Amino acid sequence: MGARKRLRADKTKEAKKQVSFASLSNVPTSPRKMRLVADMIRGKEVNLALDLLKYSSKEASRRVEKLLLSAIANWKEKNEGVRMEDANLVVKSINVDSARILKRLRPAPQGRAHRIKKRSNHVTIYIDSKVNNQEELKVS
């Protein structure tokens, strides 16, 4: 590994240590339905996002709510002694990627068969304090 590549890798490692995240793999919900929920909370404060997810009627919101609570717990583990209320936590980004697709056959008229695709997805959520986001914008 060259010097520039190593320095870049060290820099990204340090950046990952500062940001708290949680991920969920192979969720048996279609990515399109999960993205509707993800778009609902992207960029919102954590307490507001938890309220939106709790009172949403969508089935995918229950899974994202648990994932957000996990990300908050990961943040608390990294930042001991800092109160969550003082940090002004924000959902920095949330990614929904397509996962495996199960292919099934459904009987159709006249001896035919139709293929059914049962989609699943991966969700990754990043949270950070609003203070850190503003400092990064000033530095850039």
pLDDT reported for residue 132:
61
Name the strand (E) or helix (H) holding 3.
Answer: helix 3-18
pLDDT at 136: 60
Name the fold adopted by 20-139: Ribosomal Protein L22; Chain A (3.90.470)
d(CA 53, CA 60) in angstroms, rounded, equals 9
Q: Which of these, 35, 12, 13, lies nearest to 95 by C-alpha position?
A: 35
Q: Does residue 51 sit in helix, strand or coil?
A: helix
**pLDDT < 50 positions in the chain:** none
Residue 86 vs residues 1, 67, 78, 89, 113: alpha-carbon distances, Å: 41, 22, 15, 8, 58
pTM, whole model, 2 decimals? 0.83
In the chain, domain spans: 20-139
